[in-house]
Amino acid sequence: MRLELGKILINDVKFCSETKVDKGVLYINKEELIAHLMDDEHLKSVDVDLAKPGESVRITPVKDVVEPRVKVNGAGGVFPGMISKVDVVGSGRTHVLKGAAVMTVGKIVGFQEGIIDMQGPGAEFTPFSKTNNIVLIVEPAEGVEAHAYEKAVRMAGLKAATYLGLAGKEVEPDEVEVFETKPLFEQAEELKHLPKVAYVQMLQSQGLLHDTYVYGVDAKQIVPTLLYPTELMDGAILSGNCVSACDKNTTYHHLNNPVVKAMYEQHGKEINFVGVIITNENVYLADKERSSNWTAKLCEFLNLDGAIVSQEGFGNPDTDLIMNCKKIEGKGVKTVIITDEYAGRDGASQSLADADVAANAVVTGGNANETIVLPKMDKVIGTLDYVDIIAGGFDGSLREDGSIMVELQAITGATNELGFNRLSATGY
């Protein structure tokens, strides 16, 4: 598959009477966007606000982040199985409004939503302090059940990103990146002098709002399978989960997976990047055994020399991570795992809930239990009502002076296990 990503650089967002892109500015007809989103009976109201880099703005509780984009040509459309019909994506051309992001904010259902500060020390721990953010404040209709509300909010984010992405369809991109993966045997013959390496991406699928979607299918219902890397880059995988904000893979993370990009940078030079194996993180032992068995089997079937394995979440999924690592290594395939740590506020506790001697090459996104004080911001988009109860918060997190003391766990993307963050360390 060959995918062209046309990047339209967005350096500002403004409300206007017409939704368009002009000279690096995304203009938005606020009323039209709201009307587009309010066709869902599960929603009582939708408001739209803007947050830009460097502003004294706090956004919370953040649910998902989505990058606006539009399919220009090639099979499928944006967000297949959710917005577009089910068709295989990953080829043709897609235009991306790079530098813009749609965020969804609303009443909390669980405990695991996030905080994004646009300035100050907290801004250094989230990539979304650097994007021009279109924030949807979404309120549920009376009597709507939690799961229906969460679905409605998720769809609102995807709809808004699609609506805004259309503004870039006829715009000449500032930059075009090309990514290509050839059919397996053709590429293996062409690059037979290079080691064959795959990316194993673990998808959060523990249920109870811990969901990820593959072409619209809940990942709990899949067995491990092989994808072209360009499918990920073109919207095949979407977030629908409420895991801790620090290591949640938002939809934006899936669309801009840095592991995929880094492997493409070495493709044809140092490695033969053969593809992506997606696997899930279910709760029960039998499901974990099945998925890790299949993952290792696919690695063996592809005759891999190496695999990079990334986790999403912590605790229960630590077992999936170690099972995948141990079984893949057992097939003679060298692994590197990417995770983060919950080692206590002093960093002295065991980092993962599971371990094995096979996991001897590790990249960590940092210790999510480390605490930070976030100073008061001049403006809050959303509400501070949940700061004391979100994961990473505690009784007294919100102080009388408006500042907040939380663990990094509460900051969206702070210890992301794709490496989409500023914290990292390696161990060999």
What pLDDT, on a 0 to 100 scale, did the predictor assign at position 111?
Answer: 65
Average pLDDT of each block of 10 consecutive residues along the chain (428 residues)? 97 97 97 95 95 98 96 93 94 98 87 90 96 96 87 94 97 97 96 98 86 94 96 95 88 96 96 97 93 98 98 91 97 96 88 89 93 97 92 92 95 94 61
417 vs 170: CA distance, rounded Å: 35
Q: Is 242 a catalytic residue?
A: yes
Please choose, from the candidates 399, 329, 315, the residue with its C-alpha nearest in 3D space to the C-alpha of residue 361: 329
Active-site position among 16, 242, 246, 325:
242
pLDDT at 292: 97
Query: Residues 272, 225: contact at Cβ < 8 Å?
Result: no
Yes or no: say if 239 and 247 are a contact pair by the CB < 8 Å rule.
Answer: no
From the list 33, 69, 239, 49, the residue with the least C-alpha distance to 154 is 239
What's the rounded Cα separation, in Å, for the pair 234 and 253?
12
Dihedral (C-alpha) 229, 232, 233, 236: value to the nearest 10 degrees?
140
For the four alpha carbons of 164, 176, 214 and 320, in that order, the dihedral sign comes to negative
Indicate the domain borders of the chain. Answer: 2-410
pLDDT at position 95: 98
Taking a C-beta distance cutoff of 8 angstroms, is the pair 80, 216 a contact?
yes
Q: How far apart are the first and last CA of the chain?
A: 34
**Strand partners for 137:** 47, 105
pLDDT given at position 425:
56
φ/ψ region of 347 (left if φ > 0, alpha if ψ in -120 to 50, else beta) reads left
